[in-house]
Chain A
Amino acid sequence: MNRIKQKLQEDKKILSIYFSAGYPNLNDTVKIIQDLEKNGVDLIEIGLPFSDPLADGPTIQESSTTALKNGMNTVLLFEQLKDIRKSVSIPLILMGYFNPVLQYGVEEFCAKCEEIGIDGLILPDLPLNVYKEEYEAIFKKHGLINVFLITPQTSDERIKAIDNASEGFIYMVSSASTTGAKQGFGAEQTNYFDRIAQMNLNNPQIVGFGISNSETFEQATQNTKGAIIGSAFIKHLTKNGVDKIGDFVKQIR
Chain B
Amino acid sequence: MKSYHADERGYYGEFGGAFIPEMLYPNCEELRQNYLSIMEEPSFKEEFQQLLRDYVGRPTPLYFANRLSKKYNTNIYLKREDLCHTGAHKVNNTIGQILMAKKLGKNRIIAETGAGQHGVATATVCALMGIQCVVYMGEIDIARQAPNVARMKMLGAEVRPATSGSKTLKDATNEAIRDWINNPVDTHYIIGSVVGPHPYPDMVARFQSVISEEIKKQLQEKEGRKNPDYVVACVGGGSNAAGAFYHYLDTPEVGIIAVEAAGKGIHSGESAATSALGKVGIIHGSKTLLMQTQDGQITEPYSISAGLDYPGVGPMHAHLYASGRGEFISITDDDAMKAGLELCKLEGIIPAIESSHALAIFEERKFKKNDVVVVNLSGRGDKDLQNYIDYFRL
Q: Please give the residue numbers on chain A whose beta carbons come within 8 Å of chain B beta carbons, in ascending order.
A: 50-55, 57-58, 61, 65, 68, 73-75, 97-104, 124-127, 130, 148-151, 153-155, 158, 173, 176-178, 181
Task: List, in ascending order, chain B residues with CB within 8 A of A58's CB.
Answer: 164
Number of interchain pairs (Cβ within 8 Å): 113
Contact, CB under 8 Å: B295 / A100: yes
Contact, CB under 8 Å: B282 / A99: yes
Which of B22, B25, B177, B296 is close to A102, meaning CB atoms less than 8 Å apart? Answer: B296
Residue among A51, A65, A126 with most chain B CB within 10 A: A51
**In the complex, which residue of chain A has the Cβ closest to the Cβ of B178?**
A178
Contact, CB under 8 Å: B295 / A102: no
- In the complex the two chains form, what is the Cα distance from A253 to B291 in whole Å? 45
Tell which of B55-63, B179-187, B322-330, B355-363 binds the partner. B179-187
Contact, CB under 8 Å: B170 / A52: yes
B294 within 8 A of A: yes
Contact, CB under 8 Å: A149 / B21: yes
Interface secondary structure of A, over-half rule = loop
B26-48: contact bitstring with A at CB < 8 Å (1 yes, 0 no)?
A: 10000000000000000000000
Task: List, in ascending order, chain A residues with CB within 8 A of B170's CB.
Answer: 52
Contact, CB under 8 Å: B23 / A176: yes
Contact, CB under 8 Å: B295 / A74: yes
Contact, CB under 8 Å: A148 / B26: no
Which of B17, B174, B181, B279 is close to A103, meaning CB atoms less than 8 Å apart? Answer: B279
Given contacts A127-B19, A149-B22, A149-B23, contact A50 B182 (CB under 8 A): no
Contact, CB under 8 Å: A103 / B22: no
Which of B23, B283, B292, B296 is close to A55, meaning CB atoms less than 8 Å apart? Answer: B23
Contact, CB under 8 Å: B26 / A52: no
Given contacts A97-B282, A149-B22, contact A54 B177 (CB under 8 A): yes
Contact, CB under 8 Å: A103 / B19: no
A68 CB → nearest B CB, Å? 6
Task: List, in ascending order, chain B residues with CB within 8 A of A130's CB.
Answer: 17, 19
**In the complex, which residue of chain A has the Cβ closest to the Cβ of B280?**
A102
Task: List, in ascending order, chain A residues with CB within 8 A of B182's CB.
Answer: 176-178, 181
A209 CB → nearest B CB, Å? 9
Contact, CB under 8 Å: A155 / B26: yes
B182 CB → nearest A CB, Å? 5
**In the complex, which residue of chain A has the Cβ closest to the Cβ of B295?**
A73
Task: List, in ascending order, chain A residues with CB within 8 A of B294's CB.
Answer: 103
Task: List, in ascending order, chain B residues with CB within 8 A of A102's CB.
Answer: 280-282, 296
Contact, CB under 8 Å: B18 / A51: no
Given contacts A127-B18, A153-B184, A178-B178, contact A99 B26 (CB under 8 A): no
